[in-house]
């Protein structure tokens, strides 16, 4: 984990950034076409930002195989994220020639930087969730009361860690969560304000309507026990063209401003 402390802290609590599957903390550091990432955006807004690489990713390294990690890692092809992250228009949309790629109409993803994006992709395991959750609980215990901003695969990590440490998690910001928490422990989240953000083109994808439906059902379960959840579908508020990699899209600052406004509205700034 790396942390960055502003000279004048304006966030009421530190902001922890957790990346998605096959990715690392680089997700938040910069964009594939060289613009500032969300790490710098929120640091400039006065947040203490803690950016991590999960267990077995990037700078966290991985444990020995097969001694500790029993299964083999998953490797992605170059085309896989393009077609699966709603950058391209479905299966067969990727082409090595950027000019021949079939992007989603109005896509905000920086196609010219796609090669830089896939250079950030790393092997991942599908059997390390418990180790990752344990490490993130340890992070919360060390840093103290915090806000968690998490993406994709980290959906289940963010919600489950909050369920394990409800007194230390002061807000949750779920960016296209691919997983949710434990439905049997949803009551633990009732005092944690939550924002869930979805990008564009969900209805055009084979997987994402179901993933989003699961997220909405979990949000409804939190609301049913008295919790506060705000769900934002970006196209419905006039922010269009976003891929699954919202924080890298060309309008990433506009989405970050929406999150900042939500945080301010929840009284989480000084």
Query: What mean pLDDT comes out for the span 235-261?
Result: 98
Mean pLDDT estimate for the chain:
96
Query: What mean pLDDT comes out for the span 53-80?
Result: 89
In sequence order, what are the residues at sequence separation of 6 or more whose Cβ sits closer than 8 angstroms to the Cβ of residue 107? 87, 241, 243
Query: What mean pLDDT comes out for the span 24-52?
Result: 97
How far is residue 37's CA from residue 41's CA, in Å, rounded to a whole number? Answer: 6
172 has a pLDDT exceeding 90? yes
Q: pLDDT > 70: what percent of the chain?
A: 100
Query: What mean pLDDT comes out for the span 144-172?
Result: 98
- CA-to-CA separations, 56 to 37, 65, 84, in angstroms, rounded: 23, 11, 22
pTM for this prediction: 0.97
How far is residue 158's CA from residue 140's CA, in Å, rounded to a whole number? Answer: 11
61 has a pLDDT exceeding 90? no
Q: Please calculate the CA angle 45-47-53 and round it to the nearest 5 degrees.
A: 120
Residue 62's CB is within 10 A of a number of other CB atoms, namely 17
């Amino acid at each position: 984990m790396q942390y960055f402390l502003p000279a004048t802290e304006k966030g009421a609590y530190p902001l922890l950034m957790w990346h998605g599957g096959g990715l690392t903390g680089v997700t938040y550091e910069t964009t594939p076409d060289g613009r500032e990432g969300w790490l710098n955006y929120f640091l400039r807004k006065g947040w203490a930002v803690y950016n991590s690489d999960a267990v077995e990713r990037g700078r966290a390294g991985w444990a020995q195989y097969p001694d500790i990690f029993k299964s083999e890692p998953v490797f992605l092809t170059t085309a896989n994220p393009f077609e699966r992250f709603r950058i391209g228009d479905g299966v067969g949309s990727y082409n090595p020639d950027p000019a021949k790629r079939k992007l989603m109409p109005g896509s905000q993803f920086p196609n010219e930087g796609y090669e830089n994006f896939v250079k950030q992709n790393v092997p991942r395991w599908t059997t390390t969730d418990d180790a990752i959750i344990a490490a993130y609980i340890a992070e919360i215990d060390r840093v103290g009361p915090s806000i968690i901003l998490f993406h994709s695969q980290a959906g289940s990590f963010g919600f489950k860690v909050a369920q394990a440490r409800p007194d230390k998690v002061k807000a949750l910001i779920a960016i296209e969560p691919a997983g949710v928490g434990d439905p049997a422990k949803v009551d633990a989240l009732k005092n944690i304000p939550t924002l869930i953000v979805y990008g564009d083109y969900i209805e055009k994808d084979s997987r994402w309507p179901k993933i989003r439906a699961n997220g909405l059902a979990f949000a409804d379960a939190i609301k049913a026990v008295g919790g506060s959840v705000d769900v934002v579908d970006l196209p419905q508020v006039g922010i269009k063209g976003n891929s699954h990699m919202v924080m890298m899209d060309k309008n990433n600052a506009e989405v970050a401003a929406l999150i900042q406004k939500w945080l301010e509205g929840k009284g989480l700034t000084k």
